[in-house]
Amino acid sequence: MNNDVDNLNYILTHCREMKETIDLFGDDETVFMENSTYQRACSFSIAQIGEAVKRLSQELIKRYPEIQWSFIAGMRDVISHGYHSINLGKVWLSVSEEIGPLRETCERILKDIS
Protein backbone atom coordinates (compact mmCIF):
# COMPACT_ATOMS: atom_id res chain seq x y z
CA MET A 1 0.00 0.00 0.00
CA ASN A 2 2.95 2.34 0.64
CA ASN A 3 3.92 2.04 -3.02
CA ASP A 4 0.34 3.01 -3.93
CA VAL A 5 0.64 6.15 -1.82
CA ASP A 6 3.86 7.13 -3.59
CA ASN A 7 2.34 6.48 -7.02
CA LEU A 8 -0.86 8.36 -6.21
CA ASN A 9 1.18 11.33 -5.02
CA TYR A 10 3.19 11.16 -8.26
CA ILE A 11 -0.06 11.15 -10.25
CA LEU A 12 -1.26 14.17 -8.27
CA THR A 13 1.99 16.01 -8.95
CA HIS A 14 1.47 15.61 -12.69
CA CYS A 15 -2.22 16.52 -12.46
CA ARG A 16 -1.18 19.75 -10.75
CA GLU A 17 1.54 20.40 -13.33
CA MET A 18 -0.98 19.92 -16.10
CA LYS A 19 -3.32 22.39 -14.37
CA GLU A 20 -0.46 24.88 -14.24
CA THR A 21 0.15 24.32 -17.95
CA ILE A 22 -3.52 24.92 -18.71
CA ASP A 23 -3.45 28.07 -16.58
CA LEU A 24 -0.38 29.26 -18.51
CA PHE A 25 -1.68 28.60 -22.03
CA GLY A 26 -5.44 28.84 -21.47
CA ASP A 27 -8.28 26.35 -21.47
CA ASP A 28 -8.82 26.54 -25.21
CA GLU A 29 -8.70 23.62 -27.61
CA THR A 30 -7.70 25.82 -30.56
CA VAL A 31 -4.68 27.14 -28.69
CA PHE A 32 -3.77 23.58 -27.70
CA MET A 33 -4.03 22.33 -31.28
CA GLU A 34 -1.83 25.15 -32.56
CA ASN A 35 0.86 25.09 -29.89
CA SER A 36 3.32 22.21 -29.90
CA THR A 37 4.84 23.29 -26.58
CA TYR A 38 1.42 23.05 -24.95
CA GLN A 39 0.86 19.65 -26.57
CA ARG A 40 4.23 18.27 -25.43
CA ALA A 41 3.85 19.52 -21.86
CA CYS A 42 0.43 17.90 -21.48
CA SER A 43 1.48 14.73 -23.29
CA PHE A 44 4.48 14.35 -20.99
CA SER A 45 2.29 14.63 -17.90
CA ILE A 46 -0.22 12.14 -19.30
CA ALA A 47 2.61 9.70 -20.02
CA GLN A 48 3.97 10.10 -16.48
CA ILE A 49 0.50 9.58 -14.99
CA GLY A 50 0.05 6.46 -17.09
CA GLU A 51 3.39 5.09 -15.97
CA ALA A 52 2.44 5.59 -12.32
CA VAL A 53 -0.94 3.95 -12.91
CA LYS A 54 0.86 0.86 -14.21
CA ARG A 55 2.65 0.62 -10.86
CA LEU A 56 -0.53 0.74 -8.74
CA SER A 57 -1.53 -2.48 -7.00
CA GLN A 58 -4.31 -4.58 -8.50
CA GLU A 59 -6.04 -4.37 -5.12
CA LEU A 60 -6.29 -0.58 -5.38
CA ILE A 61 -7.35 -0.67 -9.03
CA LYS A 62 -10.15 -3.13 -8.26
CA ARG A 63 -11.24 -1.11 -5.24
CA TYR A 64 -11.74 2.05 -7.34
CA PRO A 65 -13.31 0.96 -10.63
CA GLU A 66 -14.80 4.40 -11.29
CA ILE A 67 -11.44 5.38 -12.76
CA GLN A 68 -10.60 3.91 -16.15
CA TRP A 69 -7.14 2.81 -15.06
CA SER A 70 -6.49 0.71 -18.17
CA PHE A 71 -7.44 3.62 -20.44
CA ILE A 72 -4.98 5.88 -18.62
CA ALA A 73 -2.21 3.29 -18.95
CA GLY A 74 -3.11 2.87 -22.61
CA MET A 75 -2.85 6.62 -23.22
CA ARG A 76 0.67 6.43 -21.83
CA ASP A 77 1.52 3.73 -24.34
CA VAL A 78 0.07 5.68 -27.25
CA ILE A 79 1.93 8.85 -26.28
CA SER A 80 5.18 7.03 -25.58
CA HIS A 81 5.12 4.77 -28.63
CA GLY A 82 2.62 6.32 -31.03
CA TYR A 83 5.05 8.87 -32.39
CA HIS A 84 3.31 10.44 -35.40
CA SER A 85 -0.02 8.75 -34.82
CA ILE A 86 -1.00 10.56 -31.62
CA ASN A 87 -4.57 11.83 -31.79
CA LEU A 88 -4.34 15.32 -30.34
CA GLY A 89 -8.11 15.47 -30.03
CA LYS A 90 -7.99 12.56 -27.58
CA VAL A 91 -5.11 14.17 -25.72
CA TRP A 92 -7.11 17.40 -25.40
CA LEU A 93 -10.15 15.46 -24.19
CA SER A 94 -8.00 13.86 -21.49
CA VAL A 95 -6.53 17.23 -20.52
CA SER A 96 -9.78 19.16 -20.47
CA GLU A 97 -12.21 16.58 -19.09
CA GLU A 98 -10.43 13.73 -17.34
CA ILE A 99 -7.52 15.15 -15.36
CA GLY A 100 -9.70 17.08 -12.90
CA PRO A 101 -11.82 14.06 -11.91
CA LEU A 102 -8.68 11.90 -11.75
CA ARG A 103 -7.06 14.39 -9.38
CA GLU A 104 -10.16 14.49 -7.16
CA THR A 105 -10.43 10.71 -7.04
CA CYS A 106 -6.73 10.25 -6.25
CA GLU A 107 -7.03 12.75 -3.40
CA ARG A 108 -10.03 10.81 -2.05
CA ILE A 109 -8.21 7.50 -2.39
CA LEU A 110 -5.25 8.87 -0.44
CA LYS A 111 -7.60 9.91 2.35
CA ASP A 112 -9.24 6.47 2.29
CA ILE A 113 -6.00 4.54 2.58
CA SER A 114 -4.21 6.82 5.04
How far is Cα 40 from Cα 21, in angstroms, rounded to an integer?
A: 10
How far is Cα 9 from Cα 111, in angstroms, rounded to an integer?
A: 12
Three-state helix/strand/coil letters over the chain: CHHHHHHHHHHHHHHHHHHHHHHHHCCCHHHHHHCHHHHHHHHHHHHHHHHHHHCCCHHHHHHCCCCCHHHHHHHHHHHHHCHHHCCHHHHHHHHHHHHHHHHHHHHHHHHHHC
- Active-site annotation, residues: 76, 81
